[in-house]
């Protein structure tokens, strides 16, 4: 009866190291191309997302597609490219976004008609209270944004307490309201922690004129 070949200690060490390398490579690949966890900081997305909640973002979806209106995204803002922000996509490339009287109006790319955006995710404190910069100004005057190609206009759901496309400025004070497509890292898929708040997200249907 043949005996099993005995391997030396170095074989077992190399085997363990190899398996660790493979696991690390798989995890790194998943985090880079598929999904990744993030922790929410601040109150700019209440009541949709709360401070210190852990979210999972889907990165793959933007490798094979583009951000859609209403999706919640994680991105690097133009005013601070070393940080990550989480906001909601409001304007798509070519859209005209108008803020007036506390509401958001959209003239979709290629359309002649503007429509007021129905935003059911805004809480009672923010419904009808979307203003120009600074967000809590209460300034009802109109301001228009025309979103350039390959860029997006984003806002937090806490409209009176969110630094977003209305507020983004470069170091020289020049307004920089649009987020580049390449700066958007993924779509918020679901809340992972705390366990009592686990739930997934879907983009709302704004019923804009096709």
Examine the pLDDT at 2 and tell me if it is beyond 70.
no
Give the model's pLDDT for residue 54.
93
Stretch 125-141: mean pLDDT, rounded? 93
Give the model's pLDDT for residue 80.
87
Q: What SS3 state is found at 104?
A: strand
Per residue in 177-193, pLDDT (tens digit) is: 999 999 999 999 999 99
Pairwise CA distance, residues 25 & 27, whole Å: 6
Residues carrying an active site annotation:
44, 87
> Is the omega angle on the peptide bond into residue 134 within 30 degrees of 0, that is, cis?
yes
Examine the pLDDT at 23 and tell me if it is beyond 60.
no
Provide the β-strand partners of residue 200.
190
Highest CATH level, class, for 9-200: mainly beta
Question: Could you give the C-alpha distances from 132 to 1, 57, 74, 102, 138, in angstroms and in order?
Answer: 84, 29, 22, 9, 8
Contact 138, 170 (CB under 8 A): no
Stretch 74-83: mean pLDDT, rounded? 92
- pTM value? 0.84
> What are the sequence ranges of the domains in the chain?
9-200
Contact 99, 90 (CB under 8 A): no
Examine the pLDDT at 19 and tell me if it is beyond 90.
no
Count CB atoms within 10 A of the CB of residue 205: 9
């Amino acid at each position: 009866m043949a005996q099993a070949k005995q391997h030396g200690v170095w074989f077992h060490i190399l085997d363990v190291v190899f398996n660790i390398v493979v696991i690390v490579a798989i995890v790194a690949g998943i985090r880079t191309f598929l999904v990744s966890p993030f922790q929410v900081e601040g109150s700019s997305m209440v009541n949709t997302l709360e401070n210190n909640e852990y979210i999972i973002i889907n990165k793959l979806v933007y490798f094979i597609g583009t951000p859609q209106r209403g999706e919640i995204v994680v991105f690097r803002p133009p005013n601070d490219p070393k940080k990550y922000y989480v906001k909601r996509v409001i304007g798509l490339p070519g859209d005209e976004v108008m803020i007036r009287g506390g509401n958001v109006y959209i003239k979709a790319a290629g359309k002649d008609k503007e429509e007021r955006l129905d935003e059911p995710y805004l809480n009672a404190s923010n419904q009808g209270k979307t203003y120009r910069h600074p967000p809590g100004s209460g300034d009802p005057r109109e301001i228009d944004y025309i979103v350039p190609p390959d860029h997006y206009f984003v806002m937090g759901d806490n409209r009176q307490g969110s630094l977003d496309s209305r507020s983004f400025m470069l170091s020289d004070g020049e307004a920089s309201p649009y987020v580049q497509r390449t700066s958007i890292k993924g779509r918020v898929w679901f809340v992972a922690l705390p366990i009592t708040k686990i739930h997934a997200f879907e983009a709302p249907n704004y019923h804009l004129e096709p």
